[in-house]
């Protein structure tokens, strides 16, 4: 039930990566998360017990190092773990090209905010605090409003309660619209032109927002295979 009993290098790799959630935990580590609750925010639907278990397996497999960091534990990829980057890239590139259709349950605003908050282009942003607000009118009230507070490149917070700071720009759209813009399935300009997404704030801030908010690392991958779902989450048929 564990190994494959094969000398094939693909089999030897899958022995380590084929368990549910494992690859997503590695993805989070590659994205720069180092602490347990930070990792949890990248895999919000994974139970903490299971995350703990996977981190131990990955440590045993020589992919993750668990380090004592004061009274917390710090997780670090080993060189072998970092060498998984091309594997993770290949998986993401295939996914964006051949699995672009999402189900209802895939639209998770907390994950979107978590992804966006660590991909801001701080060089393009003004000095001082920038507050980005998001409103998704189609989402249940409890998860409808979000704030990203960028103080500096190493201090960016996400919260779902109004932090009280003046907002630099507000983005309003259906959640699937923002998700597909982030994924690169739908262009900012197209969504704005079609009225599927709109901005509130100074004209200048509205103009530069798309530079501040970078897109998914896979957004630039050429699309093929199937048609993206856009707008309201209804499925487009395969072409």
Partner DNA sequence: CAGTATCCAATTGGATACTG
User: Taking CB under 8 A as the rule, does residue 138 contact a second copy?
Assistant: no
Under a CB-based contact definition with an 8 Å cutoff, are residues 25 and 55 in contact? yes
Q: Which of 65, 83, 124, 189 binds a second copy (CB under 8 A)?
A: 83
CB distance 218 to 93 below 8 Å: yes
What does the DSSP 8-state code read for residue 233? S
Q: Given the structure tokens 């103080």, which residue do they identify?
A: 151
Q: Which of 128, 119, 150, 145 is nearest to 31 (CA)?
A: 119
- Determine which residue in the list 25, 64, 77, 96 makes contact with a second copy, applying CB under 8 A: 96
Give me the least distance between CB of 95 and DNA, in Å please. 19
Instruction: Tally helices (H) and strands (E) across the chain.
Output: 10, 7
* Terminal C-alpha separation, the chain: 39
- Closest C-alpha to 15, from 33, 32, 2, 34: 2
Residues in the chain: 239
User: Residue 68 or 123: which CB sits closer to DNA?
Assistant: 68
Q: Does 119 bind a second copy (CB under 8 A)?
A: no
108 binds, among DNA, a second copy, none (CB under 5 to 8 A by kind): a second copy
Answer yes or no whether residue 14 interacts with a second copy by CB under 8 A.
yes
- Is residue 11 close enough to count as binding a second copy by CB under 8 A? yes
79 near a second copy (CB under 8 A): yes
Strands of 128-168 (E only): list them. Answer: 130-135, 145-152, 155-159
Q: Is residue 106 part of the contact set for a second copy (CB under 8 A)?
A: yes
Select the binding partner of residue 223 from a second copy, DNA, none (C-beta < 5 to 8 A, by kind): none
- Using the rule CB under 8 A, is 59 a contact of a second copy? no
Which range, of 75-83, 119-127, 144-152, 190-198, touches a second copy by CB under 8 A?
75-83
| 117 is a contact residue toward a second copy (CB under 8 A) | no
- The Cα-based distances of 101 to 138, 155, 177 in angstroms read 19, 34, 13
Q: Given the rule CB under 8 A, which residues bind a second copy?
A: 3-24, 27, 45, 62, 79-80, 83-84, 86-100, 102-103, 105-108, 111-112, 115, 179, 182-183, 216, 218, 225, 238
């Amino acid at each position: 039930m564990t190994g494959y009993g094969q000398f094939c290098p693909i089999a030897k790799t899958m022995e380590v990566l084929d368990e549910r959630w494992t690859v997503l935990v590695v993805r989070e580590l590659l994205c720069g998360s180092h602490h347990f609750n930070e990792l949890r925010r990248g895999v919000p639907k994974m139970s903490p017990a299971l995350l703990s278990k996977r981190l131990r397996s990955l440590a045993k497999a020589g992919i993750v190092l668990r380090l004592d960091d004061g009274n917390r534990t710090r997780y670090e990829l080993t060189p072998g773990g970092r060498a998984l980057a091309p594997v993770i890239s290949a998986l993401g590139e295939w996914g964006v090209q051949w699995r672009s259709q999402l189900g209802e349950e895939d639209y998770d605003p907390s994950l979107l905010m978590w992804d966006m908050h660590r991909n801001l282009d701080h060089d393009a942003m003004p000095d001082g605090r920038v507050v980005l607000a998001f409103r998704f009118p189609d989402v249940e009230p409890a998860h409808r409003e979000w704030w990203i507070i960028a103080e500096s490149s190493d201090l960016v917070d996400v919260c779902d309660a109004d932090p009280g700071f003046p907002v630099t720009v507000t983005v309003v759209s259906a959640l699937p619209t923002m998700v597909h813009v982030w994924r690169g399935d739908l262009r900012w300009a197209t969504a704005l032109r079609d009225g599927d997404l709109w901005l509130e704030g100074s004209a200048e801030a509205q103009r530069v927002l798309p530079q501040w908010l970078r897109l998914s690392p896979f957004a630039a991958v050429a699309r093929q295979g199937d048609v993206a779902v856009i707008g309201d989450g209804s499925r487009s048929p395969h072409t």
